[in-house]
């Protein structure tokens, strides 16, 4: 079968690789659509495991079922995820599913930028495969995984109706956070970014304003939009080194800062512990999504609470995956790039 093999952001090659063979309890899926995630273009994160086939925002049709698989049929439209928790360890029992060692060790074979993917038994058994409702297209289904991550993050900060929100970074992660916050009834939402294209996308997503992140007075400008008030929540959706300082300066007393994007190891930032203590700030981080989060994301999309069709800026064939990576890495003219192996 064909697959797009990742070596670097500038070297993603179409190659022939063996079609996976499934075993008992496993599922073989014919890939219909696969989204390029922001983490896919983080070279410091991906290059250490190259060459490999990436792609974890995937939808498709079940092509084969292994023995003992129940609840699914050949031809079912599905969304499936690479990471699943064990649901039995101390972290899972405390609701911290994305800290589970099993979740960090599971994957599928080879990756979504291929014609077929083998979904292992543990992924099938632990809720890593969901039927895609007819109301959702395969393209919309690729947003279930990233929106699931957003659902988990905003659950961790306990976002309430009327809360003000500042989103630092208006890439896809930032835009999904804006749209979910709007769906949850947030009041004033402001976003920042360097690219005018993305700032406009933030406004189209429900932000009251988009502020140029390169401005020397970026926080003052954002606060002025919020009627001169600091923000109940600041969600960091960029790995820019100055974003953390901006977040701490923009958050209201008693507010929450959510570390949504992750940066390379060794990216140290300063924290004024006195100011942190005095303002009563809650600092949270989030990673990934559990099957519960994915199910909630699916419902939000299915019933139109969060709309994502307009976020797709590029649809490309498997042969053009390398071009798609360059678009996604640039960020100046793209929001979501979808790879369609059947094109």
Are the CB atoms for 155 and 132 separated by under 8 Å? Answer: no
Mean pLDDT across the chain, nearest whole number?
95
What is the chain's percent helix, strand, coil content, to nearest 5? 35, 25, 40
Please, which pLDDT band fits residue 45 given cuts at 50, 70 and 90? confident
The label of the residue with tokens 């023995």 reads 67
The label of the residue with tokens 């699931």 reads 148
Pairing of strands 2-8, 11-16: antiparallel
Instruction: Write down the pLDDT at residue 120.
Output: 97
Please, which pLDDT band fits residue 48 given cuts at 50, 70 and 90? confident
Instruction: Write down the pLDDT at residue 183.
Output: 98
Instruction: Write down the pLDDT at residue 306.
Output: 98
d(CA 74, CA 54): 25
The label of the residue with tokens 């008992």 reads 24
Pairing of strands 129-131, 312-317: unpaired
Residue 59 belongs to what H/E stretch? Answer: strand 57-65
Instruction: Write down the pLDDT at residue 63.
Output: 98
Residue 51, preceding peptide bond in cis (omega within 30° of 0): yes
Using alpha carbons, list the distances in angstroms from residue 258 to 125, 184, 246, 274, 285: 31, 17, 12, 19, 5
Residue 35, number of CB atoms within 10 A of its CB: 28
What percent of the chain is predicted at pLDDT more than 70? 100
Query: With the C-alpha atoms ordered 223, 174, 264, 290, is the resulting torsion angle positive or negative?
Result: positive
pLDDT mean over 246-258:
97
Please, which pLDDT band fits residue 221 given cuts at 50, 70 and 90? very high
Are the CB atoms for 323 and 297 separated by under 8 Å? Answer: no
Please, which pLDDT band fits residue 267 given cuts at 50, 70 and 90? confident
What confidence tens digit (pLDDT) does each residue in 141-166 have? 999 999 999 999 999 999 999 999 99
If you write DSSP's letter for every residue of 104-129 in order, what string do you get? HH---BS-SSBSEEEE-HHHHHTT-E
Instruction: Write down the pLDDT at residue 323.
Output: 95
Residue 312 belongs to what H/E stretch? Answer: strand 312-317
Residue 331 predicted with pLDDT over 90: no
At residue 102, the 3 state secondary structure works out as helix
Instruction: Write down the pLDDT at residue 182.
Output: 98
Task: For helices 144-156 and 291-302, give the axis angle rounded to 10 degrees.
Answer: 110
> Where do the domains of the chain lie, and which CATH numbers do they carry?
2-143+308-340 (3.90.180.10), 156-285 (3.40.50.720)
Q: Give residue 71's region: left, alpha or beta (phi > 0; psi -120 to 50).
A: left
Instruction: Write down the pLDDT at residue 80.
Output: 95
Torsion angle of C-alpha atoms 91, 97, 98, 101, degrees rounded to 10: 50
pLDDT mean over 234-261:
95
Residue 284 predicted with pLDDT over 80: yes
Strand partners, 167: 191, 235
d(CA 88, CA 126): 11
Are the CB atoms for 297 and 307 separated by under 8 Å? Answer: no
Instruction: Write down the pLDDT at residue 324.
Output: 95
What percent of the chain is predicted at pLDDT more than 90? 88
Using alpha carbons, list the distances in angstroms from residue 337 to 9, 41, 247, 270: 14, 12, 29, 35
């Amino acid at each position: 079968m064909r697959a797009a093999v990742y070596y670097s952001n500038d070297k993603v090659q179409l190659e022939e690789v063996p079609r996976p063979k499934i075993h008992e309890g496993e599922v073989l899926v014919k890939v219909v659509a696969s989204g390029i995630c922001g983490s896919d273009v983080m070279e410091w994160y991906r290059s250490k495991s190259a060459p490999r086939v990436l792609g974890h925002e995937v939808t498709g049709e079940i092509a084969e079922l292994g023995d003992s698989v129940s609840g699914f049929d050949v031809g079912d439209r599905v969304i499936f995820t690479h990471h699943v928790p064990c649901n039995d360890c101390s972290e899972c029992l405390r609701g911290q599913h994305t800290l589970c060692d099993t979740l960090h060790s599971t994957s599928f074979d080879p990756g979504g930028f291929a014609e077929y993917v083998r979904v292992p038994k543990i992924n099938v058994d632990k809720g890593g495969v969901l039927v895609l409702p007819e109301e959702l297209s395969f393209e919309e289904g690729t947003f279930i995984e990233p929106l699931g991550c957003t659902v988990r993050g905003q659950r961790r900060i306990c976002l309430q109706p009327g809360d003000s929100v500042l989103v630092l970074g208006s890439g896809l992660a930032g835009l999904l956070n804006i749209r979910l916050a709007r769906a949850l009834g947030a009041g004033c939402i402001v976003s920042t970014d360097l690219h005018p294209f993305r700032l406009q996308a933030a406004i189209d997503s429900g932000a009251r304003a988009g502020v140029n992140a390169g401005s020397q007075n970026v926080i003052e400008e954002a606060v002025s939009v919020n009627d001169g008030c600091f923000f109940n929540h600041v969600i960091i959706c960029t790995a820019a080194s100055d974003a953390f300082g901006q977040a701490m300066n923009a958050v209201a007393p008693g507010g929450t800062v959510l570390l949504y994007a992750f940066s390379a190891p060794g990216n140290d930032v300063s924290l004024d512990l006195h100011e942190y203590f005095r303002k009563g700030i809650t600092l949270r981080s989030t990673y990934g999504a559990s099957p519960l989060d994915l199910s909630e994301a699916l419902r939000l999309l299915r019933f139109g609470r969060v709309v994502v069709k307009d976020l797709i800026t590029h649809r490309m064939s498997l042969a053009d995956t390398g071009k798609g990576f360059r678009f996604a890495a640039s960020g100046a003219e793209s929001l979501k790039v979808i790879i369609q192996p059947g094109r």
